Structure 1
Amino acid sequence: MNGALSTATIVAALVLAVWYLVRTALDRAPNRVDLIAAGVLTALVAVLVVVAVAGLFDGERPADTATFAGYLITTIGLVPTAAILAKMEPTRWGSLILGIGCLILPVLVLRLQQIASVTVA
């Protein structure tokens, strides 16, 4: 797992989480800019997942490849799912859905790093 890319993903997710939660507190529904920001975060996560999958082919694999794959699938699908649900809920709760999704993402990235650090040759 790329440390700088993981850090960038975590920071971006936390910044967006704060933004979405502030919008929730201000009783604002997610707008087009919020959904575009979620899309940019999804692109960043997609790059992270591609790098992680490419790392599987360099000779060292995580000790628990199935768990690692499950976290990869969850990580890539979390923000788009939150964005779809937020679009379906055009109230302040849509912003909350995006905020919670962005709060969960750093946990998933950290967990991916933990699993990737325990390797077998």
Structure 2
Amino acid sequence: MVRVIAVAVAVAALLLAAWVFLLAWRSRPIGRAVLAGAGVVEALILAQVIGAIALVARGERADEPLTFVLYLIASVVALPLGAWWAVGERSRSGTAVLGVAALVVAVMVQRLQQTWS
């Protein structure tokens, strides 16, 4: 895995989670700025996927390939699903779902690092 991208994804996801949980604590729904932030995190995740594909194409392999691929797929899907839920349910709990999704992404990135090394 490209460590710089993995760290960037984890930090961005944690910052997004903190921002979203602050909104949930204040009982505010997410807005366009939060969705833009989620888009930035998702773009970083996609960059990580491209980096992983490039490394595999060069002949490198994860220690646990199936686990790695499943975590990679789940990390791509988690944030859009959380955003979809938060947009659909404009309540405190709907907002919190996006925060949980951002935390899940940060944890999955760390697991990806562990399964790669």
TM over 0.5: yes
Could you state the TM-score of these two structures normalised by the residue count of structure 2?
0.94
Q: Describe the superposition over 1:63-105 as per-residue Cα deviations: whole angstroms up to 9, x where unpaired.
A: 3211111111001111111111111111122220111111111
Find the residue that maps to 1:56 and give its secondary structure: helix
Aligned AA for 1:56? V
Structure 1 residue runs without a partner (length 5+)? none
How do 1:6-21 and structure 2 match up within 5 A?
6-21=6-21
Aligned AA for 2:29? A
Tell me which moved more, 71-80 or 54-63: 54-63
Aligned length: 117
TM superposition outliers: structure 1 runs of 4+ over 4 Å: none
- Once residues 59 and 48 of structure 1 are traced to their aligned partners in structure 2, the CA distance between those partners, rounded to angstroms, is 17
Aligned AA for 2:110? L
Structure 2 residue runs without a partner (length 5+)? none
How do 1:16-55 and structure 2 match up within 5 A?
16-55=16-55
Q: Supply the RMSD in Å over aligned alpha carbons.
A: 1.0
